[in-house]
Structure 1
Amino acid sequence: MNKLILLNFLIIALSCNNVFEKKSGLSFQESQQTPLTAQIDFTQVKRQIFSKHCTICHPGYQNYENVKNDIQNILESVEANQMPKNAPALSRELKDILAQWVANGAPKAPNQSEQRRNPTASWDYLSQEVFFPKCSQCHNPQGQASFLDLSTRQSFFENRSYLFDSFNSDAQHSYFVEVITDPAEPMPPKWSEVPPVTKDELNLIIEWINKGLP
Structure 2
Amino acid sequence: MKQALVIGASGGIGAAMVKELEARGYAVTARSRRHDGLDVTDAAAVSRVMGALEGPFDLIFVAVGTLAAGRAPEKALKQVTPAQMARVMAVNAIGPALVLAHAERLLPRQGRSVVGVLSARVGSIGDNRMGGWYSYRASKAALNQLVHGAAIEIGRKRQEAVVAALHPGTVATGFTADYPGHDKVGPEVAAARLADVMERLGSAQSGGFYDYAGREIPW
> Could you tell me the TM-score, scaled by structure 1's length?
0.25
Q: Computing the radius of gyration over CA atoms, which structure comes out larger, 1 or 2? A: 1
> Of the two structures, which has the highest relative contact order with CA contacts closer than 8 Å and spacing of 6 or more?
2
